[in-house]
A and B are shown apart, each in its own frame.
Chain A
């Protein structure tokens, strides 16, 4: 069995939000779709627990970074679709820059060792 990483517990705080925002830049998506996208894109390395996904989505709504609306899926089911807002895009840019800095820093330390 491959190693799986649960985003909420083992990544830096705020990372899950960043990943969700990034996902949403591809277009509106519902919670299930976001989870599937994250798993598939990370080739199942990143496992998104539903118990961290929905609170994270609520935090996006609270901060006004995303906007939710009820709609219909391709199969005609009712689902709640999230859409990134302009302030969400700004936030994503800031988070991404910070993330790169941190990752760069970590990488530098690891290589220096």
Chain B
């Protein structure tokens, strides 16, 4: 049968050749006939005519020949399908359970695959994405221009910067929040994204600051805001706000202050539908020439400011240059640029440092990949988890099929003895399995469409918006189909082969006996396998959940309950220099005076905001062993910061309003920093030199307890604080830490109102509870824990169903035996415990295999653990106990049924 199947498959793929073969053959045949006729003395023309006549309809003949390959196969397939459908209709319960089980397994796999595909596998929808290379850091606009003009690696170099959360209006219609991207003029031509309406941004639009007030909008925005009207071209868009990220250091250059008006841009084009930008996880709504930056974000002159590092670079590689070579050559260019910047005063130390400076690069074939880096490992783990779930689902369906095959063994034995070939029956049973898998796959695709969307909502917290295109497409369908077919073969083959063994023919003679021992052994193995896989999942789930709990319980060093964080943008509102600090402190006092507020303070970076600062220090009398030893993180904090946030100052004092311009520059350091640099000496009164944008010396006036400012997984790190009023680095935002006296949620309205009263131009960038920010920072861990719990529960449920089925069957099969035992004096209790003992043996068998698997796989999740080892014995033991408990529950009903067997009835039925 396989040979025949293979032959037919070959026909499917090479049908054309077979048709040609037949045609040529027939032509040969006709020629031979014509030759015969000629030999009989006819003229060549008459001979040919006669030969043709004798051949008859050759087209029909070819048709028949083709039929030989196709018809019988299709016929048989049709018969098998009809037969299978009838048998499903007769067993709706079985069909429903099997289909749902598979839908769950296949759906979960497809849903995760959609994310894996969108985030990790898919290339950018641009021309030759494989030629694109991204530089792994941001640079200033000046250095971007230098790199663009001086590198010998890229055919073309583009600079980009995306800004989320910009409020957008067209006319008087609000378009809500949008992500806009500043791009260099060559962006669209280099990526090969051709607008479907209007024109792209071109180099002339970004030739000089402010000359290109134009915008290309995404297809999505065009649809959403303009109903795909061609009139959109030429309309104006107005922008307001947006979180202007990017590392900056140093102070804003003093420039003519423009009073901020909302910038207006004219729409010139619409991007093609498939083009979402250059970064996975971000859907860009509007593209704007990069030189419009100062117009859009007044007060931030980043085109001219050399210390603002904000431009991302993607280049199109020249032919023949690979990634390592590009890194080498770009680094060389980079060093030349830096050397020129420093000028002739370059010191030996700077030269040494430069020689060790590299520009790292990443392939940008799939776009910028912050999201990819963040989610690759979690996604792969989830992919493995759902694979296990599908495996359990398949084992379950295999078990169901096995039971069915047993129930149908008479029918099958009959057909075998009537001369059906075993191959024929196996094929028919496999057709049933594949049909089941197809139904499961179809339902699974629906599960996936909803599931992937829900998953995405789970991962994108407010602070961490992830936008992906998740429209169902060919890749997803191909994946679903592939998984369905593989599952169908996986769960269908063994029962089909078992169910059609010739030795089953004795069944015909022996129709009254219920059981074949083989079925029982096979399904015991299947259930043990389910238990093993479930255990692996349970252990993983236990590890992830405990990691999440450990992270949540991790002390941050202050009370995060009732702490409100408000981030505002004073720069865009026109504040700068010392005025900014004064205004911020005034606003701080007004916020602290609001009813219901216990205390209020402020700082530059805030807590769990995703913004961190670090700098290199000079410490007298400290001998660094590596360069890193002199790096410490810092924040610029307002008066009463430590009291306000709730971090104890263990030595010295907190900041006050007297730590202002003109007063001696002071700093408060954390305990880790004090221990590291000053060992057992008292650091109060010592000095710390700060290099970088401002070369100043700070006097230590206090030591604070270590606190987690930004990452729960961080070990205590060296950190120092300077006064917000004596910044060592340019202030770009302000974060107010407001402690609520009572209900914190009720304060959000009054806080906004107070801000608006203070200065209507002052924009709120974010207003959140600290607890929420902390939760957002562990969104990945939460995602893995929640999903693995969900899938673990599904797996255990399926395993329990499998166990229940096997035990019920076992009890039914052994009714007679149990009856005899009871007739001979066995108590109900001993019968019950005999059944439960069997369950324990099953669970134990499965657990041994599962535990070995869990221990073997532990190292893959090691890096995700927090506060426990991946081979945590407690988790393993707990999982086994849980599984055993569930096993006993699943086995309780069959055991009770066994205990209720009436020996008289059981023996009479013998």
Choose among B25, B33, B54 the residue with the greatest number of A CB atoms under 10 Å from its CB.
B25
Assess whether A22 is interfacial by the CB under 8 Å rule: no
What chain A residues lie within 8 Å of B8 (beta carbons)?
A: 62
Are B28 and A51 closer than 8 Å at their CB atoms?
Answer: no
In residues 45-99 of chain A, which contact B (Cβ within 8 Å)?
49-51, 54-59, 61-64, 68, 70, 77-80, 87
Q: Which of B63-71, B427-435, B797-805, B852-860 lies at the interface?
A: B63-71
CA gap between A57 and B29 in the complex, in Å:
14
In residues 1-48 of chain B, which contact A (Cβ within 8 Å)?
3-4, 7-8, 11, 21-22, 24-26, 28-29, 31-33
Are B21 and A68 closer than 8 Å at their CB atoms?
Answer: yes
Are B64 and A77 closer than 8 Å at their CB atoms?
Answer: no
Give B476 Cβ to nearest chain A Cβ, in Å: 36
Are A61 and B31 closer than 8 Å at their CB atoms?
Answer: no
Assess whether B60 is interfacial by the CB under 8 Å rule: yes
Give B776 Cβ to nearest chain A Cβ, in Å: 63
Are B69 and A31 closer than 8 Å at their CB atoms?
Answer: no
Assess whether A37 is interfacial by the CB under 8 Å rule: no
Contact among A50, A55, A61, A77 with B7 in the assembled complex (CB-CB below 8 Å): A61
Give A35 Cβ to nearest chain B Cβ, in Å: 8
CA gap between A77 and B31 in the complex, in Å:
10
Are A80 and B21 closer than 8 Å at their CB atoms?
Answer: yes
Closest to A77 in B: B28
In residues 529-546 of chain B, which contact A (Cβ within 8 Å)?
none
What chain B residues lie within 8 Å of A30 (beta carbons)?
A: 25, 28
Contact among A54, A61, A77, A78 with B26 in the assembled complex (CB-CB below 8 Å): A54
Are B29 and A62 closer than 8 Å at their CB atoms?
Answer: no
CA gap between A76 and B669 in the complex, in Å:
99
Closest to A58 in B: B68
CA gap between A49 and B55 in the complex, in Å:
8
Given contacts A50-B61, A51-B64, A58-B69, contact A80 B7 (CB under 8 A): no
Contact among A51, A56, A68, A87 with B56 in the assembled complex (CB-CB below 8 Å): A51
Are B32 and A32 closer than 8 Å at their CB atoms?
Answer: yes
Are A50 and B22 closer than 8 Å at their CB atoms?
Answer: no
Are B69 and A79 closer than 8 Å at their CB atoms?
Answer: no
Give A29 Cβ to nearest chain B Cβ, in Å: 12
What chain A residues lie within 8 Å of B62 (beta carbons)?
A: 54
What chain A residues lie within 8 Å of B22 (beta carbons)?
A: 54, 58
CA gap between A22 and B54 in the complex, in Å:
25
CA gap between A78 and B64 in the complex, in Å:
23
What chain A residues lie within 8 Å of B55 (beta carbons)?
A: 50
What chain A residues lie within 8 Å of B72 (beta carbons)?
A: 62
CA gap between A70 and B26 in the complex, in Å:
13
Are A54 and B4 closer than 8 Å at their CB atoms?
Answer: no
CA gap between A30 and B26 in the complex, in Å:
11
Interface of chain A, main secondary structure: helix
Give B442 Cβ to nearest chain A Cβ, in Å: 32
Are A55 and B28 closer than 8 Å at their CB atoms?
Answer: no
Are A51 and B61 closer than 8 Å at their CB atoms?
Answer: yes
What chain A residues lie within 8 Å of B11 (beta carbons)?
A: 62
What chain B residues lie within 8 Å of A31 (beta carbons)?
A: 25, 28-29
Contact among B3, B31, B64 with A54 in the assembled complex (CB-CB below 8 Å): B64
What is the size, in residues, of chain B's interface with A at 8 Å between Cβ atoms?
30
What chain A residues lie within 8 Å of B7 (beta carbons)?
A: 61-64
CA gap between A56 and B24 in the complex, in Å:
16
CA gap between A87 and B2 in the complex, in Å:
13
Give A79 Cβ to nearest chain B Cβ, in Å: 5
Closest to A82 in B: B25
In residues 53-105 of chain B, which contact A (Cβ within 8 Å)?
54-58, 60-62, 64-69, 72
What chain B residues lie within 8 Å of A54 (beta carbons)?
A: 22, 25-26, 61-62, 64-65
Closest to A61 in B: B7
Are B61 and A79 closer than 8 Å at their CB atoms?
Answer: no
What chain A residues lie within 8 Å of B57 (beta carbons)?
A: 51
Give B5 Cβ to nearest chain A Cβ, in Å: 10
Given contacts A62-B4, A63-B4, A77-B31, contact A50 B56 (CB under 8 A): yes
Given contacts A49-B56, A62-B4, A80-B21, contact A55 B29 (CB under 8 A): no
What chain B residues lie within 8 Å of A87 (beta carbons)?
A: 3
Closest to A75 in B: B35
What chain B residues lie within 8 Å of A59 (beta carbons)?
A: 68
Given contacts A30-B28, A61-B7, A80-B25, contact A55 B68 (CB under 8 A): yes
Contact among B29, B31, B67 with A50 in the assembled complex (CB-CB below 8 Å): B29
Are B64 and A55 closer than 8 Å at their CB atoms?
Answer: yes
Are A55 and B67 closer than 8 Å at their CB atoms?
Answer: yes
What chain A residues lie within 8 Å of B31 (beta carbons)?
A: 77
Are B28 and A50 closer than 8 Å at their CB atoms?
Answer: no
Choose among B64, B66, B72 the residue with the greatest number of A CB atoms under 10 Å from its CB.
B64
Give B61 Cβ to nearest chain A Cβ, in Å: 5
Give B48 Cβ to nearest chain A Cβ, in Å: 15
Give A66 Cβ to nearest chain B Cβ, in Å: 11
Annotate B315-348 by CB proximity to A: 1 below 8 A, 0 otherwise: 0000000000000000000000000000000000
CA gap between A61 and B69 in the complex, in Å:
9
Closest to A33 in B: B32
In residues 402-454 of chain B, which contact A (Cβ within 8 Å)?
none
What chain B residues lie within 8 Å of A63 (beta carbons)?
A: 4, 7
What chain A residues lie within 8 Å of B69 (beta carbons)?
A: 58, 62
Contact among B4, B28, B54, B61 with A80 in the assembled complex (CB-CB below 8 Å): B28
Give A23 Cβ to nearest chain B Cβ, in Å: 15
Closest to B6 in A: A64
CA gap between A70 and B67 in the complex, in Å:
22
Are B67 and A78 closer than 8 Å at their CB atoms?
Answer: no
Choose among A31, A56, A68 the residue with the greatest number of B CB atoms under 10 Å from its CB.
A31
In residues 838-864 of chain B, which contact A (Cβ within 8 Å)?
none
CA gap between A57 and B62 in the complex, in Å:
12
What chain B residues lie within 8 Å of A61 (beta carbons)?
A: 7, 68
CA gap between A14 and B361 in the complex, in Å:
70
What chain B residues lie within 8 Å of A77 (beta carbons)?
A: 28, 31
What chain B residues lie within 8 Å of A68 (beta carbons)?
A: 21
Given contacts A50-B61, A54-B61, contact A62 B68 (CB under 8 A): yes
Q: A54-B62, A77-B28 are in contact. List 8 more A-B contacts (CB 8 A).
A: A32-B29, A32-B33, A50-B55, A55-B61, A55-B65, A58-B66, A62-B72, A80-B28
Give me 21 A-to-B residue pairs in the complex whose CB atoms sit less than 8 angstroms apart, sorted by A's number: A30-B25, A32-B29, A50-B55, A50-B61, A54-B26, A54-B61, A54-B62, A54-B64, A55-B61, A58-B22, A58-B65, A58-B66, A59-B68, A62-B4, A62-B11, A62-B72, A64-B7, A77-B31, A79-B25, A79-B28, A87-B3
B interface residues, Cβ below 8 angstroms from A: 3-4, 7-8, 11, 21-22, 24-26, 28-29, 31-33, 54-58, 60-62, 64-69, 72
Q: Closest 3 interchain pairs by CB? A: A58-B68, A55-B64, A58-B65
